[in-house]
């Protein structure tokens, strides 16, 4: 594993933490009393629970959020040379799944307030790409995009638990016949104008790594109302076996993206506690806000009016541009407080620069947020004393 400062022993609070009780531990232990560790009853039970929670017809449990996004990309028929509009201010998986199919992510910068894709620029990009010629060309990367690539889809991301402006996205998508894949990996339980995040596009994915609002250890779930897409994704998840295929018959080129039974039962218990955990996360965010709102040179996270329920995933402050953030991270670490820059812009990751020729300055808002964002310790098991401690150290470091 590469370095992950989350659980280093010298830290006095973890950067993130799952919220586990005896109910989770007992449920997982009970699965281990049976011989059914994969493809048993629990993944279907978990899927039924997620389908009910979202009100959608299909929930497909998978081995990770990344796997789920990849399935959505395959189901949308996105293939070599196709263009998909997405955001560079995200976790890399939302763009990587396009590269898996040799498709091209067409980045559109984000709204500085929410960090979600800027829908005015999105509309412009779609219109320009549709028109073709030099107008369309200016949205494409310097290299790595084939001429005449077809715009197939939009892949918005609900950043930090706050839904993207889906009505605007859906409007332009339906006008230009584009598939909408919502990366809701950070937004389980969030609400956009009173509608559940993940239910508005053609398909969406929630992720359950241990730092998310609920966990299955590794895991995720795809949700959709599209029967044909759901059948196809279920087959791809299971090594390409279509309904009726035997164990060694594979109608499609598929993957092993299945969720195991321990993860599924863990997810089922966590889902039952989701509202409780989201309420706790909101409380923790409130404790931070009370203590940091007035701190000069720091902006606390803000909730957009379209977000009628925030599903707090991380607590990311933005420090003033004049502050040396790396030095700040080090000073906090020296005092036992972990923190992490959030996000590093996707277009500036080395393999993206190499493949597409991106340069600093290409997406200024993403880069500005990337330079100033700092995730503080955050979880639903955090106590007010721990928040107080983190804030005391932060204020101390700021005042000198």
Ligand X SMILES: *Cc1c(COP(=O)(O)O)cnc(C)c1O
Contact 49, 268 (CB under 8 A): yes
- Read out DSSP for 289-323? HHHHTT-TTEE-----TTEEE-----EEEEE-TTS
CB of 12 to ligand X, least distance (A): 26
Which one of 157, 166, 352, 374 is in contact with ligand X (CB under 6 A)? 157
Which one of 28, 185, 274, 278 is in contact with ligand X (CB under 6 A)? 185
User: Does position 221 bind ligand X by CB under 6 A?
Assistant: no
User: Does position 88 bind ligand X by CB under 6 A?
Assistant: no
CB of 185 to ligand X, least distance (A): 4
**Distance between CA atoms of 285 and 162, rounded to whole angstroms?**
14
Interface positions, 24-43, toward ligand X (CB under 6 A): none
CB of 204 to ligand X, least distance (A): 11
Q: CB-wise, 220 or 377, nearer to ligand X?
A: 220
| Contact range with ligand X by CB under 6 A, out of 15-23, 59-67, 264-272, 390-398 | 59-67
Contact 152, 178 (CB under 8 A): yes
User: Does position 103 bind ligand X by CB under 6 A?
Assistant: no
Q: Which residues of 323-354 are buried (b: 16+ CB within 10 A; e: fewer)?
A: bebeebbebbeeeebbbbbbbbbbbbbeebee
CB of 376 to ligand X, least distance (A): 17
Q: CB-wise, 366 or 386, nearer to ligand X?
A: 366
Which one of 16, 66, 213, 263 is in contact with ligand X (CB under 6 A)? 66
CB of 187 to ligand X, least distance (A): 9
Contact 51, 195 (CB under 8 A): no
**Distance between CA atoms of 247 and 185, rounded to whole angstroms?**
31
Interface positions, 165-184, toward ligand X (CB under 6 A): 183
Other residues' Cβ atoms within 10 Å of the Cβ of residue 11: 18
Please give the size of the binding site for ligand X, defined by CB under 6 A: 14
**Distance between CA atoms of 313 and 326, rounded to whole angstroms?**
23
Instruction: Report the residue count for the chain.
Output: 400
CB of 217 to ligand X, least distance (A): 10
Q: CB-wise, 107 or 287, nearer to ligand X?
A: 107
Which one of 65, 105, 189, 301 is in contact with ligand X (CB under 6 A)? 65
CB of 106 to ligand X, least distance (A): 18
CA 2, chain centre distance (Å): 20
**Quick one: tokens of 253?**
């080129």
Which one of 220, 267, 338, 345 is in contact with ligand X (CB under 6 A)? 220
Q: CB-wise, 161 or 254, nearer to ligand X?
A: 161
Cis geometry, peptide bond prior to residue 95 (ω within 30 degrees of 0)? no
User: Does position 186 bind ligand X by CB under 6 A?
Assistant: yes
Contact 19, 280 (CB under 8 A): yes
| Contact range with ligand X by CB under 6 A, out of 89-97, 188-196, 256-264, 346-354 | 89-97
User: Does position 207 bind ligand X by CB under 6 A?
Assistant: yes
Interface positions, 320-379, toward ligand X (CB under 6 A): none
Q: CB-wise, 200 or 394, nearer to ligand X?
A: 200
Tell me how far CA of residue 37 lies from CA of 29, 31, 65, in angstroms: 11, 7, 20
CB of 286 to ligand X, least distance (A): 23
State the DSSP H helix or E strand holding residue 196, giving kind and residue range, or none if neither.
Answer: strand 195-196
User: Does position 203 bind ligand X by CB under 6 A?
Assistant: no
CB of 160 to ligand X, least distance (A): 9
Which one of 17, 86, 87, 94 is in contact with ligand X (CB under 6 A)? 94
Contact 215, 221 (CB under 8 A): no
Q: What are phi and psi of 279, to 5 degrees?
A: -65, -40
CB of 92 to ligand X, least distance (A): 8
| Contact range with ligand X by CB under 6 A, out of 86-94, 123-131, 241-249, 324-332 | 86-94
**Distance between CA atoms of 62 and 164, rounded to whole angstroms?**
23
Angle, helices 274-292/261-272, rounded to nearest 10 degrees: 60
Tell me how far CA of residue 151 lies from CA of 79, 147, 154, 347, 369, in angstroms: 11, 12, 9, 19, 27
The binding site for ligand X (CB under 6 A) comprises: 64-66, 90-91, 93-94, 157, 183, 185-186, 207, 209, 220
């Amino acid at each position: 594993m590469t370095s992950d400062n989350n659980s280093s022993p010298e830290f006095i609070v973890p950067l993130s933490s799952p919220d586990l009780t005896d109910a989770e531990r007992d449920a997982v232990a009970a699965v281990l009393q049976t011989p059914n560790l994969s493809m048993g009853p629990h993944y279907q039970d978990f899927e039924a629970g997620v389908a009910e929670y979202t009100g959608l017809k299909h929930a497909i449990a998978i081995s990770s959020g990344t796997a789920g996004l990849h399935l959505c990309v395959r189901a949308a028929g996105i293939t070599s040379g196709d263009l998909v509009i997405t955001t560079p201010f995200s976790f890399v998986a939302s763009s990587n799944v396009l590269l898996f199919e040799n498709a091209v992510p067409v980045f559109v910068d984000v709204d500085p307030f929410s960090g979600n894709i800027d829908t005015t620029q999105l509309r412009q990009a779609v219109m320009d790409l549709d028109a073709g010629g030099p107008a369309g060309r200016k949205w494409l990367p310097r290299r790595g995009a084939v001429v005449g690539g077809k715009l197939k889809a939009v892949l918005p991301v609900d950043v930090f638990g706050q839904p993207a402006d889906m009505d605007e996205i859906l409007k332009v998508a339906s006008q230009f016949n584009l598939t909408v894949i919502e990366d809701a990996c950070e937004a389980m339980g969030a609400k956009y104008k009173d509608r559940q995040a993940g239910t508005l596009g053609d398909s969406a994915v929630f992720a359950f790594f241990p730092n998310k609002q609920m966990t299955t250890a590794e895991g995720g779930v795809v949700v959709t109302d599209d029967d044909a897409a759901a059948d196809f994704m279920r087959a791809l998840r299971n090594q390409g076996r279509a309904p009726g295929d035997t164990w060694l018959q594979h109608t499609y080129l598929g993957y092993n993206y299945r969720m195991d039974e321990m993860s599924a039962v863990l997810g089922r218990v966590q889902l039952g506690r989701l509202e409780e955990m989201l309420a706790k996360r909101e409380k923790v965010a409130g404790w931070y806000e009370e203590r940091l709102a007035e701190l000069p040179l720091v902006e606390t996270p803000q909730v957009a009016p379209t977000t009628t329920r925030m599903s707090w995933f991380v607590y990311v402050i933005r420090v003033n541009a004049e502050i040396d953030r790396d030095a700040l991270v080090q000073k906090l670490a020296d005092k036992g407080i972990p923190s992490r820059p959030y996000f590093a812009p996707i277009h500036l990751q080395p393999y993206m620069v190499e493949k597409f020729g991106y340069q600093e300055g290409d997406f200024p808002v993403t880069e500005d947020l990337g330079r100033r964002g700092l995730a503080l310790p955050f979880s639903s098991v955090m106590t007010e004393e721990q928040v107080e401690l983190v804030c005391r150290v932060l204020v101390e470091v700021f005042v000198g």
